[in-house]
Amino acid sequence: MPIEFSKKLTARETPIPGVVLYDLPVHGDNRGWFKENWQREKMVSLGLPDFRPVQNNISFNEKAGTTRGIHAEPWDKFISVATGRIFGAWVDLREGPSFGTVFTAEMDASQAIFIPRGVGNAFQTLEDNTAYIYLVNDHWSAEAQGQYTFLNLADETAAIQWPISLEQAELSDKDKAHPRLVDVVPMPVKKILVVGADGQLGKALRALYAGYESVEFAGRGEFDLGTETAFRNKNWKGYSTIINAAAYTAVDTAESAEGRAAAWAINVSAVSRLARTAVEHDLTLVHVSSDYVFDGGRDIHDESEPFTPLGVYGQTKAAGDAIVSVVPRHYILRTSWVIGDGNNFVRTMANLALRGVKPAVVNDQTGRLSFTTDIAAGIRHLLETEAAYGTYNLTNNGASQSWADIAAEVFELVGVGGQAVRGVSTAEYFKDKRAAPRPLNSTLDLSKIASEGFTTRDSKEALKEYIHELRHLGER
């Protein structure tokens, strides 16, 4: 059967999620033919994942009827035919709702197909001297082969209609011995790794992803971001995403020599290791940033505002943002005034109220609270909806407030009058104290993340729920 020349490069979806069949332009004359088998720019523009192939394999098959598969491998593949024709069969062997879905097609040199990790690949040659080519985005190894998932070519559930019966086809003994679908252990999805999982945000992510085997949590004891050894010893091939919930947040201590070194070590050096790892292994990196990357000189800060940090902490967070921004697949979540399960401003104010203390609280710094439950939900939303990569502001909604406004609300919510809170200026509060400079206006524009379909709770309502939970737990 002759090859169809001069087809337009097109992509066709299939019943298996992520499996895409491509028509390739083939140009021929009396001498033979030529095609661009893999052209990154054109194919990425058609929606093919930029999967970064590292190995090119060719399977030459001398006789028609040679049948190979069904093998699901732990990497992505871009498959095409160099000479001859094949009948291809693909079965989704990944963990999830599409497990067992089948797609078949005849292919010649004018077609190619993208097969994601975990989808079983098989083919049967329809002509003698058929060459089957595939690009893969990981190097073959004996260790990797142990992660394959297999399905029997004759499985009754898949019910693949092979053009040449398997009784007449050429099969390997190994392929004949592979299990039926009912006995196949699905290939697990790649994992999300949460580092810094013992902090306030880490605890919120633990609660949000409780029971998810595909999410792994690592505190400093399990994964020390400060050591190269931790990164070298991790097999990153089984991961898709890193969520960095670790940070040095002691704003005032960061102004000391010891604190400055610690802030740069955690907020910059460790982040550079995470970014390098994400680039090398094609991972998505989620990084949590801060309003302190700005000087507070604008009424509201959007994601495009240039960095203008005032102190060491803000400088290290800005440097971390700049590093993460070069990772092709990244989300930077810029937050302010974080409140979660741990020591924070709201807990401190609640304790002072219950002890009868009448505090002086800053009234000329304004912004919004960011509850860790909402930050965690925003991270999950961006990942699950595959939102556009980039930087997003993520705080709770509602009107901007001063720290004194929030303190007064806390006092009211615990049953002590808000009039017990005395508002003072930043200059007065920090007079004769060693303190870092702070942005006076920390309100972040939330329109970008809202355009991706995510809206946080109103800050006042979230505060009520938080105080109710604290009182329910009997905290004092």
383 domain residue, yes or no: yes
Residues forming a β-bridge with 121? 71, 90
Residue with tokens 């089957």, as numbered in its chain: 132
Domain count, the chain: 2
In degrees, rounded to 5, the angle at the alpha carbon of residue 336 between the alpha carbons of residues 334 and 337 is 155
In degrees, rounded to 5, the angle at the alpha carbon of residue 387 between the alpha carbons of residues 385 and 392 is 125
Helix extents (H) in 33-151:
40-45, 142-145
Residues 257, 218, single domain; the answer is yes
pLDDT confidence of residue 476 = 44
Q: Is 415 left (phi over 0), alpha (psi -120 to 50) or beta?
A: left
**DSSP H or E stretch at residue 106:** strand 102-107
**DSSP H or E stretch at residue 472:** helix 459-472
Residue 314's SS3 state is helix
User: In angstroms, rounded to a whole number, what is the distance separating the alpha carbons of residues 358 and 377?
Assistant: 35
Residues 218, 348, single domain; the answer is yes
Residues 289, 342, single domain; the answer is yes
Burial 75-113 (b: 16+ CB within 10 A, else e): bbbbbbbebbbbbbbbbbbbbeeeebbbbbeebbbbbbb
Q: Which residues form the catalytic set?
A: 71, 134
pLDDT confidence of residue 258 = 96
285 domain residue, yes or no: yes
Token representation of residue 14: 């299939």
Residues 54, 196, single domain; the answer is no
Domain boundary among 148, 163, 183: 183
pLDDT confidence of residue 1 = 57
User: In angstroms, rounded to a whole number, what is the distance separating the alpha carbons of residues 37 and 114?
Assistant: 12
Q: How many CB atoms lie within 10 A of CB 158?
A: 21
Closest C-alpha among 286, 459, 452 to residue 367: 459
User: In angstroms, rounded to a whole number, what is the distance separating the alpha carbons of residues 94 and 99?
Assistant: 6
User: In angstroms, rounded to a whole number, what is the distance separating the alpha carbons of residues 282 and 328?
Assistant: 8
pLDDT confidence of residue 174 = 93
Residues 138, 266, single domain; the answer is no
Domain encompassing residue 155: 10-183
Q: What is the DSSP string of 362-380?
A: E-S-EE--EEHHHHHHHHH
Tens-level pLDDT at each residue, the chain (476 residues): 567 776 789 999 999 999 999 999 888 877 888 888 888 999 999 988 888 899 999 999 999 999 998 999 999 999 999 999 999 999 999 999 999 999 999 999 999 999 999 999 999 999 999 999 999 998 877 666 668 899 999 999 999 999 999 999 999 999 999 999 999 999 999 999 999 999 999 999 999 999 999 999 999 899 999 999 999 999 898 899 999 999 999 999 999 999 999 999 999 999 999 999 999 999 999 999 999 999 999 999 999 999 999 999 999 999 999 999 999 999 999 999 999 998 999 999 999 999 999 999 999 999 999 999 999 999 999 999 999 999 999 999 999 999 999 999 999 999 999 999 999 999 999 988 889 999 999 999 999 999 999 999 999 999 999 999 887 656 54
> Do 141 and 98 meet the contact criterion of CB atoms below 8 Å apart?
no
Residues 400, 276, single domain; the answer is yes
> Do 187 and 94 meet the contact criterion of CB atoms below 8 Å apart?
yes
DSSP single-letter state for residue 302? -
Residues 170, 195, single domain; the answer is no
Residues 121, 238, single domain; the answer is no
2 domain residue, yes or no: no
Burial class (CB in 10 A: 0-12, 13-18, 19+), 66: buried
Q: CA of 235: how far to CAs of 144, 196, 240, 277, 470, in Å?
A: 11, 18, 12, 11, 40
User: In angstroms, rounded to a whole number, what is the distance separating the alpha carbons of residues 369 and 464?
Assistant: 12
Dihedral sign (CA 166, 172, 173, 176): negative
pLDDT confidence of residue 3 = 72
Residues 178, 200, single domain; the answer is no
Domain boundary among 183, 217, 237: 183
Residues 175, 205, single domain; the answer is no
CATH no. for residue 33? 2.60.120.10
Domain boundary among 128, 158, 183: 183
Residues 45, 142, single domain; the answer is yes
Q: How many CB atoms lie within 10 A of CB 217?
A: 20
